[in-house]
Amino acid sequence: MSFTVFLGNLPVWVTADDIKGWLAAEDLVADSIKVIRNHETQESKGFAFVEAPTSDEMQAIIRRFDRAPLEDRLLRANPAQPTKGKGNGGGKAIAPTAAPGAGDRSARRRRPKSKDNPKSAFATELAKAL
């Protein structure tokens, strides 16, 4: 059984070592920590998965970090949900899903922006300047 915590709304500078340090300061334990990064830029996507050794430890991590302030934001900590689709059953975790109509843009597919075909007058002028 997996005891994975989704830790979201992280600033882009947060690393797995930062999270490990926060957990140690609170006497909390994690088997593994994975900060999710953009494959191309290696910049953090603002969330991580923390694998806890037990259900009790998972709940303690969630209680400590859910809605905890960091810089100008509140962190989110929830039990991660198993991946859906293609029946892989691989046990991988995904971020909790937003309620319908909640405006979660991260779940929407985005079309790549074309440098040759700007969408606005501002973009056209910017492309000319560059």
Q: Domain of 13: which CATH number?
A: 3.30.70.330
Provide mean pLDDT across the span 67-81: 95
Could you tell me if residue 115 is inside a domain? Answer: no
Could you tell me if residue 56 is inside a domain? Answer: yes
CA of residue 74 relative to chain centroid, distance: 13
pLDDT band at 104 (very low <50, low <70, confident <90, very high): very low
Provide mean pLDDT across the span 90-99: 56
* Residue with the larger pLDDT of the pair 82 and 63: 63
Residue (of 62, 54, 44, 89) closest to 5 by Cα position: 62
What pLDDT shows up at residue 59? 97
Could you tell me if residue 29 is inside a domain? Answer: yes
| 121, pLDDT greater than 80 | no
Q: Please, what sign has the CA dihedral across residues 94, 98, 100, 103?
A: negative
Could you tell me if residue 66 is inside a domain? Answer: yes
Could you tell me if residue 106 is inside a domain? Answer: no
**Residues spanned by the domain of 38:** 4-97
pLDDT, averaged across the chain: 79
| 101, pLDDT greater than 50 | no
Could you tell me if residue 117 is inside a domain? Answer: no
Provide mean pLDDT across the span 57-77: 96
Could you tell me if residue 38 is inside a domain? Answer: yes
Residue 95, Cβ neighbours under 10 Å: how many? 19
Q: How far is CA 119 from CA 110, 123, 126, in A?
A: 14, 6, 11
Instruction: Give the number of domains in the chain.
Output: 1
Could you tell me if residue 63 is inside a domain? Answer: yes
Q: How far is CA 123 from CA 74, 110, 114, 116, 119, in A?
A: 33, 18, 11, 10, 6
